[in-house]
Chains A and B, each alone.
Chain A
Amino acid sequence: MNGAGDFELELERELHRILDPISAVPIPPRRAPISGGFTKRLLGGAGAALALKLATGVAVAAFAAAAAGVATEVAATGSLNPSNWGQSVTKAVQTCKDNLRASGTRGIGPCVSAIANQHGQQVSDSHRSSDARGNGKDKGKSDANSHDKGKTTGSGNSHRTPGSGGAGGHP
């Protein structure tokens, strides 16, 4: 017991001998926090290459998704102009609304729902056919194929876009 007590006393004496001089050291000014430290470290260090690769991957994926969307809309509407895509839906809704009004029903809910379903079906059909062509291997290829599809099955699709064609048929 004494041994342990002696050791503790010796420990305290030695710690004071070593650390007491620190109470005389000047206190330096506090280091200001660096704003954006994490970003700087990420971009400035070895993580730069990784970050660049990640950013490139995300950008490529976003571009591919956008291109696929454009191809689908082009196939569905037969037009490259995005305003035409919206116009075709607006036109279909308007025609449907007129029909409903004539039959004495109010509101456009059923029209929007029907057209949305129809459009969804077209989009999924178009995706399915582009997957089948590209075998899901190469996005770029399937996008290129979707152009061809506009010429071949795309024309079929434009027939199956009765939202515009069919509506035109109904006065």
Chain B
Amino acid sequence: MDTVPEYRPGSEADFERLYRNSYRRILGTLITMLRDRSAAEDCTQDAFERAFKAWKTWRPDAPAEAWLHRIAINVAINGQKRERLQEVGALLKRVGRPTAPADPAVLAERSDLLVALRKLPPKQAAAIVLRHFHGYSNREIAISLEVPERTVASRLAAARARLQELMEGTRAGPKKFG
């Protein structure tokens, strides 16, 4: 994290500042965990809503953004469960209809990496993004994932190994069939 602004628990003005400072970063993490951008935006708002309710209980010894990430990751895990149920319905609706032209912004977010990240267990995907995109320390990742700090390194190693496997699988796929 670049700067650590001072926040006071319970202060609405400070929470608004925290929202402005971390909205995009939380959204970035959730995009890698959820089906699409709109689902990620929805979960991000949900996460801030929950965080606001708990804002009085936040303790400044934990970085505010890592605390927010913890809430957001839990919201996303619940969101994933909902998505799985909705996917079946959406698939049935789509059957036989022409596909809508893709949004260019959505196209930019399509990649083998995203596909592979979304196949990982949610906390592993989050760990990858927190370390390799946000540059979080082990302590910050531990707070975000609600795990002991000493297990972060092994979790990250497991997540990277699984991701590498998945990526190699997706790369090998088209070659095999192409």
- Residues of A whose CB lies within 8 Å of any CB of B are 4, 7-8, 11-12, 14-19, 21-23, 25, 27-28, 30-31, 33
A25 to B: closest C-beta gap in Å = 6
What are 10 contact pairs spanning A and B, CB under 8 A? A11-B128, A11-B132, A15-B32, A15-B132, A18-B109, A19-B31, A22-B24, A28-B23, A30-B19, A33-B52
Pick the 9 closest A-B CB pairs, nearest first: A15-B133, A19-B28, A31-B45, A14-B113, A12-B132, A27-B23, A22-B28, A30-B19, A11-B132
B29 to A: closest C-beta gap in Å = 9
Contact of A31 with B111 in the complex, beta carbons under 8 Å: no
Chain B interface size band reads: 20 to 34
Identify A23's interface contact among B16, B24, B132, CB under 8 A.
B24
Cα(A25)–Cα(B109), bound, Å: 13
Cα(A21)–Cα(B27), bound, Å: 12
Complex contacts, B111 vs chain A, CB 8 Å:
14, 17-18
- Residues of B whose CB lies within 8 Å of any CB of A are 16, 19-20, 23-24, 27-28, 31-32, 41, 45, 48-49, 52-53, 105, 108-109, 111, 113-114, 128-129, 132-133, 160, 163-164
Complex contacts, B48 vs chain A, CB 8 Å:
30-31
Contact of A7 with B164 in the complex, beta carbons under 8 Å: yes
Cα(A39)–Cα(B164), bound, Å: 46
Q: A7-B164, A31-B45, A31-B49 are in contact. Are A16 and B108 (CB under 8 A)?
A: no
